[in-house]
Structure 1
Amino acid sequence: MTAADLHTLTGAYVLHALSDEERADFERHLADCEACAQESAELTATAARLGLAATVTPRPELREPVLRRITTVRQDAPREPVQSRAVRTAANRRRTLSRWALAACFAAAAALGGTAVWQHQRAQDAQELARQAEQSNDRIAAVLAAPDAKTGSAKLGGGAGGTVVVSKSEDRAVFIASGMAHPPQGKVYQLWFDDAGTMRSAGLMDTARSDQAVLLSGAVDGASGMGITVEPAGGSDQPTTDPVALMRFPA
């Protein structure tokens, strides 16, 4: 395998589509190629964001033609020098990540029949809400794209799933919920950092959404895990109910 071939394997590497030998070769290449390391981190974050989309399972008969076409279409090699790609700023990387995520959603929908459902802000106070959402998305993207980001997943009650992504360099954590039941009327899911058995508030979840990514409020600051409780609307200073879920942060 040539060096040029290795530059084209970022997507396959992120999707775990390489053989053991190819994966070993590519990981050795990552140690010396900042551009590929950066691109792999961004594609990993994109894959995590796509996990928030609501999808429709494609028909079984689509699998064979899609896999057949994959074997005949190869990713283009980079056309610009590696050095020039490696000097992009963090802000540009995050904007690129957002564009890739959106493009990937449409590509996935076209190729596999999936559909992505995105929550839109209400018309009232749209400008302020959009600004806050953009800032939150940037911070979430920074955690997901961090080179040292680590992920842990767990099954929650009622068939729901939860994934927590922690970055030591960012000192932040993101909780990704999938299929969570709506809390009772007048209640809200509240997130907590577990500081050696002492629970520290980490913000509230959106009661209207069963699938969402939430940036935990505040620094991780050595917390060993997180918990979720059902609290009165507006949240509580300390948990008032037994945890709906407890998750340890990945080591």
Structure 2
Amino acid sequence: MTTTDPHTLTGAYALHALPDDERAAFERHLAGCADCEREVAEFTATAARLASASGMAARPALREQVLHRITTVRQAPPGPAAVDQARRRVPRLGGPLRWALAACAAAAAAFGGTAVWQYERAQEAHRQTAEAERHADEVAGVLAAPDARTRSAQLAGGTGTLVVSTARGRAVFVASGLAEPPRGKVYELWFADGGRMRPAGLLKPDRASQAVLMRGPVEHASGVGITVEPAGGSPRPTTEPVGLLDIPS
């Protein structure tokens, strides 16, 4: 059980960086702490701004100017007189001050590392969100296509519906009420294509109902199968299908 002060976890929570047990404990704390709720909202907004930040491209002539200066400007090393003068101008630091400056430098380095880590996490969250939105758009495009055709069958304790758009050349598999696969296993989709089974994606094992855009084009596939495979999927079926559906015409 963690003993970390929950008030220090707002940033990590906003970036989805807490382990499951700490996240659950923090959410219980968050329900009754207005200060932490406000900080989480501010961190979340900041992460979103960082994720959408973009750099400004340098002027094309700037590179040539820099390269030209490198060849014409040479920094001479300081002579002995300059070094002695600099030493006289810099006061010797006492013990406490020296340690204070060292602590400040360490804190600045740690803060900089944290900022980079937070930026990278924000970028990853932005990428995952964009990918999820793109997937949802593609699924919706197939389901709403004017030429969409469907075929349904009972399988794995629930219902599987295949939706195919010939114009788009894509298919969506809609699962409803499927039984959870055995621990460490997943349902894998396949296209029956020219006498071979072509991998076409995985269903999320913790969701009884979901819509999956099948991987790859429909092309000349005659049907779709679903099998139970090890987590991560298999390059070819290792079990008998729990369901088979013909491609709707």
TM-score, normalised by the number of residues in structure 1: 0.49
More helix by percentage: 2
Which structure would you say has the larger RCO, counting Cα contacts within 8 Å and 6 or more residues apart? 1
Q: Which is higher, the Rg of structure 1 or of structure 2?
A: 2
TM-score, normalised by the number of residues in structure 2: 0.49
